[in-house]
Structure 1
Amino acid sequence: MYDEHYTRLNQYRSLWILVFFDLPTETRKERKIASGFRKKLLDDGFSMFQFSIYMRFCASRENSEVHTKRIRNNLPEHGKIGVMQITDKQFGMMELFYGKKPVETDKPSQQLELF
C-alpha cells in the first residue's frame, strides 16, 4: 500500500518542463544564436520533442526552478520563448500520434531520492 500511495503522490510532485520557441533564422548570425540556444537546452538535459519544443523531467519543483532559471539566463535577445511546467501525471495523459498510429509517451528515468 505504501508504494502505491508514494508513487501516486510522486506523479503529482514530479514535473516536466516544456520549452517552446520560435527564434529568427534569417541570417547566419541568427541561425548560430538559435543553434546555440538549442545546444544549451540539450546540455542541460532537455530532449527534443519537436524541432522547436524541448522537454525535461524534474523530480521536484525545486529542481524544475533551477532549470527554468538557467533558461532565463540563456534567453536570446530576439524571438519568442515559452516555458511550461506540467505534472508527470498530466504528461502521462498526453496522446501522441505518428500519422494515425498512437505512440507511447516517454517514461522518466528511475529517480533516486535520498532522505
Structure 2
Amino acid sequence: MRLMIMFDLPTLTAMDRRNYRQFRKKLLQDGFTMMQESIYTCILIDRQAANLLNNKISLYAPKKGLVQSLIVTEKQFASMNFLTGEKDNSEENTFERLTVI
C-alpha cells in the first residue's frame, strides 16, 4: 500500500512558513519521500498501517491550507501514466517484501 499526502499550504506569514516547514519535516520523519513539490508518498505494509499513519498525520497537519490523503495499492501506483518526464527507479520508489525467517 502507498499513502499519498498532497498539500497546498499558505506561506504568506512567518508563522505559515514555520507551519509548512514543521509539517514537511514530520512527514519526512514518518518515512515519506517527495514525489513532486507538494506530494509525498510512503510505502506501508497494509491498509491498517496506512489508516493509522493517516490518522497520525491528521493530528499534526496545519489547520490553514489544504491537506489531502489517498491510499492506493502498489498495483494502482505502478499503473501510473507518465505524460511527460520519466519514471524514478530509485530504491525508495520500489516495493519488495522482506521475509525474515
TM-score (norm. length: structure 2): 0.86
1:80 aligned to 2:66?
yes
Partner of 2:29: 43
For 1:66 and 1:48, locate their aligned partners in 2 and report how far apart those are by CA, in whole Å: 20
Q: Which has the higher contact order (CA 8 A, sep 6+)?
A: 2
The CA RMSD over aligned residues, in Å, is 1.8
Residue 103 of structure 1: how far off its partner (Å): 2.2
- Which structure has more strand as a fraction of its residues? 1
Instruction: Indicate whether 1:54 and 2:54 are aligned.
Output: no
Q: For residues 52-78 of structure 1, what are the alpha-carbon distances to aligned partners after superposition, in whole Å with 9 as ceiling and x for unaligned?
A: 100001111111112101111111120
Bigger Rg over Cα? 1
- The list of structure 1 runs, each at least 4 consecutive aligned residues, that deviate by more than 6 angstroms after superposition, is none
Distance 2:97 2:60 in 1: 27
TM superposition shift of 1:111: 3.0
Identical pairs, percent: 32
Could you list the runs of 5+ residues in structure 2 that have no partner in the other structure? none
User: TM-score, normalized by length of structure 1?
Assistant: 0.76
